[in-house]
Amino acid sequence: MSTPDLNLLVTLDVLLSEGSVVRAARRLRLSPSAMSRALARLRESTGDPLLVRAGRGLVPTPRALELRERVRQLVQDGEAVLRPAEQLDLRQLERTFTLRTREGFVETFGPGLLARVARDAPGVRLRFVPKPDKDSTPLRDGSVDMETGVVGKATGPEVRAQALFHDRFIGVVRQDHPLSRGDVTTARYGGGRHVAVSRQGRDKGPIDDALAQAGMVRDIATFVGGFSAALALARASDLIASVPERHTQALRDGMFSFALPVPLPTITVSLLWHPRFDADAAHRWLRGLVRDACAAPR
């Protein structure tokens, strides 16, 4: 069996990225005919046409789509191996990192994180952007450096994840709410009016399932898309909000919090990033700061 030409990996990566023989040739500084010959070799090696004609352009085959992320990662790993190691000078580092988080994370953990960044690397800026879903595309395309959240089915299989902290859902009401006095029983909690958080339009969630086991259906007065909105409504009314405890600590200031009287599993909030940044010294440094900020006692 002949040894495969690993140089073809770079060619394949560019072809799948550009979706055009002409553009790929231009990017690799080859002639279109040389690129066509390389594509022919790739087709022979993989046993698949990879790119097929569709109108005036080319579209990837299912096999090409399957290979795209793997090839991209192999090329990036190879580049990292052949790149000389650089000593990270935090005082000279100038870079903007984008972090995608749920509401409450910045308010609770942001101050400590920003203080460490300002002390260690004054040229570094953090850009926090909202996280409306669990789609891993922003991590894949590089528009986001890292994000926080619960790993789920929508999380890309190649995405790296490291646990930051465990959290649990609690109930929250305004300070002089009836539930702020006496024991919060299942009947008192389930019998109140609730504001529910639903980002995907679902009418029911784990809390409703737990209440159903007790033969109760909670009265949901309104649905909102985030924890901060739920807490704002609960602060100004008799509504009951149910939110993750640690994640919303800074948002619950001045409110009354209580343990839910129904059993719910704890959740693990993780830090997620694309493997292309595994060996990046600055990225590793910031990941460590995020872990430290979330581990600090509050």
Q: Are 59 and 19 in contact (CB under 8 A)?
A: yes
CATH 1.10.10.10 is the classification of domain 7-82 = yes
Instruction: Report the percentage of the chain scoring pLDDT > 70.
Output: 96
Domain boundaries, the chain: 7-82, 95-167+268-295, 169-265
Task: Evaluate if residue 1 carries a pLDDT over 80.
Answer: no
Q: Token digits for 215? A: 């033969």
- pLDDT-derived band at 85 (thresholds 50, 70, 90) equals low
Q: Which CATH number fits domain 95-167+268-295: 1.10.260.30, 3.10.20.30, 2.60.120.260, 3.40.190.10?
A: 3.40.190.10
pLDDT at 96: 96
pLDDT at 78: 81
pLDDT at 86: 64
Question: Once rounded to an integer, what is the mean pLDDT over residues 210-235?
Answer: 94
Distance (Å, rounded) from C-alpha 52 to C-alpha 43? 11
169-265 shares the fold of 95-167+268-295: yes
pLDDT at 105: 92
CATH class of segment(s) 169-265: alpha beta
Task: Evaluate if residue 4 carries a pLDDT over 80.
Answer: no
pLDDT at 288: 95
